[in-house]
């Protein structure tokens, strides 16, 4: 009978990740958001148990920092113990946020089903299914110094070396690593050519927070993305891959979404509104609709107002928009408004009623567009965001080029409205 495997590939859980964008967040919302990453981990464990997978691969950055809370650590261990009770094995390659030399002394309580890859060399684990060798897992963790030369991190790891080191033939050899590939060269850079040359059946990777596969019809290299979006820079539904390997057939990957918390960017057309109250009600309706569309238990969103409105003057004031977001968050438990951005323009009636302000707003828009085209101004914004994300590659991977440009134009426009200059 041809060999087969079914396993979960997850990465970048970032347990203990600090809350971001907490403005306008009443305590119930803070609690829900602070629990999001651990809820995602618990949902993954429950799915593994219900689906009776063969094993779970965790490709690094399980924890967000070198010193997470004791509670977060305990909850992670409890998940491993639940899997152990069902004889589901777990293989871990630690990442740049949870480096090997820091975490191995703490991982003394891991149950017998859990195996952590070494950082100073490749590790090989034999998985047996029904008494027969079902797969070899070949992996390597990162340590505090992950500034490898190109292709040095996984040098020498291959299907042949896995068979040689274990002394076993196997129907499948699977690679497990935390690498930026060529997307983020600051973190264990590796080329796809090197991975293909290893002749592994599948490479389970972590570090890039968006799902990616080399070939959707027959994937051999994959990132599942982060398990749970942490802020507005990681919008949309996140989750993990359920992989199915059947000897002699292409690999199939099913993306399993986790929707306890979803970040989103929403545009709201307000041309037909006559009052700020109507604008608030329309925002609430739009966010609730998006929550249902995403099948999310809880939706956190950044709102952009657009259209022609007589309320353009009021909505140009940051204090008005912040008060509106606060009111939305106080009155709703399943939607959270991270911020409200105003991209509306004055209606014909509002321009006739207040020509001075209309001229001012139009002048701001013209100057904003001109400054937006100023490369030095764009570079200043990039430098500011760079400090948050560590590298331009990771910044673009998490934020996206379109959103980055939208932030630039919005930032410049707001400076002008507040009286700032170039």
Q: How confident is the model at residue 421 (pLDDT cuts 50, 70, 90)?
A: very low
CATH of domain 4-258: 3.60.21.10
Nearest to 178 by CA among 275, 268, 91, 279: 91
Nearest to 10 by CA among 72, 109, 83, 65: 83
Q: Enter the tokens of residue 191.
A: 């080329």
Prediction pTM value: 0.80
Alpha-carbon gap, residue 289 to 6, rounded angstroms: 35
Q: How confident is the model at residue 419 (pLDDT cuts 50, 70, 90)?
A: very low
Q: Which distant-in-sequence residues (6+ apart) come within 8 Å of 297 by Cβ?
A: 259, 260, 261, 334
Structure confidence by residue, pLDDT tens digits, 224-261: 999 999 888 889 999 999 999 998 899 999 999 998 89
For 244, counting Cβ atoms within 10 Å of its Cβ (0-12 exposed, 13-18 middle, 19+ buried), the class is middle
| pLDDT at 368 exceeding the cut of 60 | no
> What pLDDT was estimated at residue 107?
67
Mean per-residue pLDDT for 192-210? 93
Q: Enter the tokens of residue 333.
A: 């438990």
Report the number of secondary-structure helices (H) and strands (E) in the chain.
14, 16
Domain ranges of the chain: 4-258, 261-417
Structure confidence by residue, pLDDT tens digits, 125-140: 999 988 899 999 999 9
Mean per-residue pLDDT for 87-94? 95
Buried b (16+ CB within 10 A) or exposed e, 153-162: bbeebbbebb
Q: How confident is the model at residue 196 (pLDDT cuts 50, 70, 90)?
A: very high
**Which has more confidence, 184 or 367?**
184
């Amino acid at each position: 009978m041809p060999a087969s495997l079914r396993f979960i590939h997850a990465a970048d859980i970032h347990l203990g990740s600090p809350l971001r964008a907490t403005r306008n967040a009443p305590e119930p919302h803070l609690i829900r958001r602070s629990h999001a990453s651990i809820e995602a981990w618990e949902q993954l464990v429950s799915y593994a148990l219900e689906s009776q997978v063969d094993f779970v691969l965790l490709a690094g950055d399980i924890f967000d920092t070198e010193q997470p809370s004791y509670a977060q650590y305990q909850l992670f261990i409890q998940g491993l113990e639940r899997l152990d009770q069902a004889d589901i094995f777990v293989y871990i390659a630690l990442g740049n946020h949870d480096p090997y030399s820091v975490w191995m002394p703490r991982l003394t309580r891991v149950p017998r089903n859990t195996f952590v890859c070494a950082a100073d060399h490749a590790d090989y684990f034999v998985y047996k299914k029904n008494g027969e060798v079902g797969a070899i897992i070949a992996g390597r963790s990162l340590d505090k110094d992950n500034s490898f030369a190109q292709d040095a991190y996984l040098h020498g790891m291959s299907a042949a070396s896995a068979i040689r080191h274990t002394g076993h033939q196997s129907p499948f050899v699977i690679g497990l690593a935390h690498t930026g590939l060529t997307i983020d060269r600051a973190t264990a850079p590796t080329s796809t050519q090197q991975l293909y040359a290893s002749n592994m059946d599948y490479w389970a990777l972590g570090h890039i927070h968006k799902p990616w596969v080399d070939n959707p019809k027959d994937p051999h290299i994959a990132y599942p993305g982060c398990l749970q979006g942490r802020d507005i820079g990681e919008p949309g539904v996140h989750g993990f891959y359920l992989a199915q390997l059947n000897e002699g057939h292409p690999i199939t990957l099913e993306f399993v979404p986790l929707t306890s918390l979803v970040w989103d960017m929403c545009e709201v057309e307000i041309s037909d509104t006559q009052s700020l109250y109507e604008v608030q009600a329309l925002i609430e309706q739009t966010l609730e609709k998006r929550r249902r569309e995403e099948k999310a238990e809880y939706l956190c969103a950044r709102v952009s107002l657009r259209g022609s409105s007589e309320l353009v003057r009021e909505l140009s004031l940051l204090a008005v928009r912040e008060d509106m977001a606060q009111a939305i968050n106080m009155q709703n438990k399943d939607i959270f408004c991270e911020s409200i951005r105003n991209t509306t323009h004055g209606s014909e009636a509002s321009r006739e009623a207040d020509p001075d302000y209309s001229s001012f707003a139009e002048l701001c828009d013209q100057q904003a567009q001109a400054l937006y085209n100023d490369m030095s101004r764009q570079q200043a914004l990039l430098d500011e965001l760079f400090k948050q994300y560590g590298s331009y590659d990771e910044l673009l991977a998490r934020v996206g080029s379109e959103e980055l440009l939208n932030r630039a134009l919005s930032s410049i426009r707001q400076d002008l409205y507040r009286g700032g200059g170039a």
